[in-house]
Amino acid sequence: MNSDYKDKRIRKNSQLSSFRLAISGILTAIKQERNVKIHLVISIFVIVLGIINDLSKQEWLFIAFCIGLVISLELINTAIERVVDLVTDKYHPLAKEAKDIAAGAVFVAAILSVIVGGIIFIPKIVEAITGG
């Protein structure tokens, strides 16, 4: 019984350690990556705009999904760029393609987010301006 407890405790600590490492990675990206900072500032702006416009639960789900998607892909993009830079310091067409493709994934998610934001916010802004 004692060894079972120890095994569970070790697994629990390693799960906690995994969370700490993940948070450390996110904080590192926030501190060191300009694009992550930009996405966070835009996310905060969108959240404030959502609060002001009293979004429905469904609208918040779409907004939350888009914010999470863009930031997650930006973190993956950053990780890919770091790994490529770690592997080679010389120009290689495949290294460039890997970086460009990862950046493209972030771009697609950002475009989707702008479309979703437009669908949600434009009618609310027009209504506020026209008083309708």
Q: CA–CA distance from 8 to each of 1, 18, 19, 42 (Å)?
A: 11, 15, 17, 41
The separation between CA 46 and the C-alpha centre of its own chain, rounded to angstroms, equals 14
Helix spans in 53-92 (H): 57-87
Name the catalytic one among 33, 59, 74, 81. Answer: 74
- Residue 59 designated active-site: no
Contacts of 122 (CB under 8 A, 6+ apart): none
Tokens of 68: 């999470």
* Residue 91: exposure state from Cβ atoms within 10 A (0-12, 13-18, ≥19): exposed
* Catalytic (active-site) positions: 74
